[in-house]
Amino acid sequence: MNFKELSVEELLNWVKEKGLEKYRAEQLLYWLYKKPAKTFSEMSNLPAALRKELEENFSLFSLKEVETIKSADQTEKKLFITEDGEFVESVIIPDKDRLTLCISTQIGCRMGCRFCLTGYQGFKRNLRTCEILDQILLVKLQGYPITNIVIMGMGEPLDNFENTTKALKLMFDERALGLSYRKVTLSTIGIIPELEELLKTFPKLALSLSLNAPDGEKRAEIMPMEKRYPIKEILAILRKYQKNRRKMFTMEYVLLKGFNDSEDDARKLTGLLKGLRCKINLIPFNPWPGSPFERPEEERVLRFQEILIEKGYSTFIRKSKGKDILAACGQLRWKKQLNPEGSAN
C-alpha cells in the first residue's frame, strides 16, 4: 500500500483504526506532503515502532527517477519508472518568474489524436493517484521551486477520472499539498459526463480545452473522440459553467500546416467560440519523427493570432520549449521504451 492512494479522510480513518491519536495523522501528512520525507525513518516525530512497521509494509514513493535531460533553454524532462516497469514523463518549464511542472495521468492514451505522439503510441494503463502525485513530490524533494502545475502530460486526465480527481483533492487540501487553485491547470479534450462532474466538484480549477479545429467536422479528422463528444456540446457546457466562475477558460489550438491554420479557419473559430469568455493559446505544431503534419510558417501563425485579437480574444502563441530534448508529450517514453534503437519511422 502507498499512503498517497488515500484521501485525507481515509488516512485519518486508518490512523483511528490503528488505535493511534489523531495528531499522528497530521504528522504523517506533514511528512508525506509538506516536507516531504525521503524515507519513513526520517519521520522523526513518529514512534520508532510505527516507523519500522511503515517501512516494512508500505512503499513511500511509487516512482523512481531514471533520467533527467536538460535543454539549452533550461526546460528539463524527467523520466520516471513505475513499480511495474512503465515509463512516465514530466517536464519542468521555466518562464520568467514561473517554474511550471507538467505532469502525466496515464501511460499512453486511448484518445488517438492524430497530431500527438502519445496518442499514436496507444494506451497502456491509468496512473494511480500516488503515481500522479509522486511526479510533484519527487520534484519538490529535489528542491525545484515549482510555482505552477499543469496536468497536460501523457494521457487524458478525464479518462482516468477517479485517480485524477483524488489527486486534485490532495493537491488542494490544506492538510496535504495545499496548492492554490490559481496554480493548477487541467487540460482535457472534453469527455462530457466527466467534464461536467469536474466543473461541479472544482468550480475554481483552471481549465484548458484542447480544441484544435474551427468546427466539428475538421476536429473529427484529427480527434476521433469528436464523434462521441461533439465540440458544440462541450462548449455549451463551458458556457453554462462560466457564469459561476471568475477565471476564464483557455482554448488550446495546435496549428497544423495547411490543415487548420488559414485565415478562414481563424474567422470560423471566432464564430464557434461566440458567447464564451476565453483566452486562446496557439501552439505551432512540434513535429515528431513520422508525424503526419508539419509546423506552419511563423508568418501564418502571426496572421492567425492577429485575426483572433481583432475579434477581441486574448491570444498567445506558445513558445516551443526543449526542442533539443524531445520535450513534447510522449517523446522521451517513446525513445526509451518503444523505440530503443532510435529508428524514426
- Shortest approach of ligand SF4 to residue 188 CB, angstroms? 8
Which residue lies nearer to ligand SF4 by CB, 150 or 329? 329
Enter the C-alpha cell of residue 332: 522521451
Which residue bears the cell 511509487?
Answer: 62
3-state secondary structure of 231: helix
- Shortest approach of ligand SF4 to residue 155 CB, angstroms? 6
- 89 is annotated as an active-site residue: yes
**Among positive and negative, which fits the CA dihedral 304, 309, 310, 312?**
positive
How far is C-alpha 310 from the geometric centre of its chain's CA atoms?
31
Cβ proximity of 167 and 189 under 8 Å: no
The one catalytic residue in 5, 67, 89, 306 is: 89
CA separation for the pair 105, 167 (Å, rounded): 10
How far is C-alpha 47 from the geometric centre of its chain's CA atoms?
37
Residue nearest ligand SF4 (C-beta atom): 119
Q: Which of 148, 152, 162 is nearest to 109 (CA)?
A: 152
- 329 is annotated as an active-site residue: yes
Cβ proximity of 253 and 219 under 8 Å: no
- Shortest approach of ligand SF4 to residue 18 CB, angstroms? 40
- Shortest approach of ligand SF4 to residue 108 CB, angstroms? 8
Cβ proximity of 172 and 134 under 8 Å: no
The one catalytic residue in 109, 116, 278, 329 is: 329
Q: Which CA distances in Å does 198 have to 179, 193, 277?
A: 17, 9, 19
**Among positive and negative, which fits the CA dihedral 200, 204, 206, 209?**
positive
Positions touching ligand SF4 (CB under 6 A) are 109, 111-113, 116, 118-119, 154-156, 189, 210, 329
Residues with catalytic roles: 89, 329
